[in-house]
Amino acid sequence: MGFVSKGEVKAGQKPHLNLAFIGHVDHGKSTIVGRVLYETGVISDHDLKDEAGSFKFAWILDRLREERERGVTIDLTHIKFETDKYYYTIVDCPGHRDFVKNMITGTSQADAAVLVVAADDGVMPQTREHAFLARTLGVTQLIVSINKMDLVKWDENRYKEVRDDAERLLKVLGFKTDQIPFIPMAALVSKENVIDGKSDWYDGPTLMEAFDAVTPPEKPVQLPLRIPIQDVYSITGVGTVPVGRVETGVLKVGEKVVFEPAGVSGEVKSIEMHHENITEAEPGDNIGFNVRGVSKKDVRRGDVCGHEDNPPTVVKEFTAQIVVLQHPSAIAPGYTPVFHAHTSQVACRFDQLLQKIDPKSGAVIEENPAYLKTGDAALVKIVPTKPLSIEKAGDIPHMGRFAVRDMGQTVAAGIVKDVVRK
């Protein structure tokens, strides 16, 4: 098949898809994931009782996540299930206040996102925010779940209302809505339209059919190697083992690599994925790799690994296109919030507001605006307070995106247009 790039399907393996669940708090993201895992046999009846003995899909999922976070393991894979066609990894599904922050790394890994909208509440502020971020972060394939249909008595008119609202929102953001399924469901109480058994008035795909209709993106194997480091372990008998997900390029045993901005280099002795040794890792692989010549204290989360002959870019300043998602007052030059790019978090200063831009047409509205408010899009010059490895989105899109966080919320998101190297 045309879309399956080199290395996508290893012998006897199905392609792998990463799915992100996004949407307003409490609209049922975890419950839908729980329903899918239950119906595909990943979790059993036995697993589904909470402390009080009642059924609770979301609870099992939160427990799985907690276990995953506590375990010191170099297997960074998330929750998995499979169909005849694909292996799926559910990227992340937290719904707490820092969800958006997690989404920056989560959704940038996602091949597709499921936007969950509860039928009773309809489109809410976080529905908009998450849809917007998914778009900014490069997710083009979307599935919309209109959940909690039981609460509106499976009323077809209410379904249409919520669907039309969601469709309008997504159209404005530039999604091709005629390719997006809007699937009514009540994941807590039934598998209807999730896995099989369709409602009489609904003739679209089930959630599982929609999953299988997602097109795996080409793996960016031709781009320079970039592995943002999530953690670094020191393992007895092995040595230093940085852990991360290959975003772009290919890593092979025996190669010389460098970590930036740390500026240390070494030779790759071994690569491990899912507790097995492999000789080559490619985009999408969550790996631990042993590097000779590098000690645990040399490298940390936020560093990026690349080949020594094509090292990750370290910037002293960069120009970015941003959109202000929510800010209680205004952003003016001098403002220094925390930027989250891949696995790094660095305070960066808004040095200059260059141009205010119309988010829909891209036309310049104002040169050198004095400040930016919620909803504004702009071209800005950013100066990190310490060295940061980030790339031009035009060169390596996966490494050229960021979120701006302040006061416990995401105030802006953007992409890197140009860099000044350090």
Q: What backbone torsions phi and psi does residue 48 show, to the nearest 5 degrees?
A: -95, 5
Candidates 186, 246, 380, 416; binder of ligand GTP (CB under 6 A) is 186
* Closest distance to Mg ion from the beta carbon of 65 (Å): 9
| Contact residues for 145 (Cβ-Cβ < 8 A; gap 6+) | 23, 28, 32, 114, 115, 116, 117, 183, 185, 187, 207
Q: Which does 148 bind (CB under 5 to 8 A by kind): Mg ion, ligand GTP, none?
A: ligand GTP
Residue 371, classified by CB atoms within 10 Å of its CB into exposed (0-12), middle (13-18) or buried (19+), is middle
Scanning residues 39 to 98, which ones bind ligand GTP (CB under 6 A)?
A: 58, 95
Q: Which residue is nearest to Mg ion (CB)?
A: 30
Instruction: From 420, 386, 422, 414, select the one nearest 320 (Cα to Cα).
Output: 414
Contact between 27 and ligand GTP (CB under 6 A)?
Answer: yes
Candidates 74, 103, 169, 187; binder of ligand GTP (CB under 6 A) is 187
E strand intervals along 221-368: 227-235, 239-245, 251-252, 256-260, 264-273, 276-278, 280-281, 286-292, 304-307, 314-324, 338-341, 344-357, 364-367
Q: Identify which of residues 30 and 286 has a Cβ nearer to Mg ion in the complex.
A: 30
Residues 19-38 as x/- pattern, contact with Mg ion by CB under 5 A: ----------xx--------
* Closest distance to Mg ion from the beta carbon of 328 (Å): 26
* Closest distance to Mg ion from the beta carbon of 194 (Å): 16
353 vs 377: CA distance, rounded Å: 11
Q: Identify which of residues 184 and 249 has a Cβ nearer to ligand GTP in the complex.
A: 184
Residue 197, classified by CB atoms within 10 Å of its CB into exposed (0-12), middle (13-18) or buried (19+), is exposed
Contact between 147 and ligand GTP (CB under 6 A)?
Answer: yes
Instruction: From 317, 138, 298, select the one nearest 229 (Cα to Cα).
Output: 298
SS3 category, 167 = helix
| Token pair for 323 | 């959109």
Q: Which residue is nearest to ligand GTP (CB)?
A: 95
Beta strands 364-367 and 388-389: pairing type? Answer: unpaired
Segment interacting with ligand GTP (CB under 6 A) among 145-153, 201-209, 374-382, 414-422: 145-153
Segment interacting with ligand GTP (CB under 6 A) among 148-156, 174-182, 270-278, 284-292: 148-156
Q: Which does 27 bind (CB under 5 to 8 A by kind): Mg ion, ligand GTP, none?
A: ligand GTP
Candidates 5, 7, 9, 26; binder of ligand GTP (CB under 6 A) is 26
Contact between 95 and Mg ion (CB under 5 A)?
Answer: yes
Tell me which residues touch Mg ion (CB under 5 A).
Answer: 29-30, 95
Tell me which residues touch ligand GTP (CB under 6 A).
Answer: 25-31, 58, 95, 116, 147-148, 150-151, 186-189
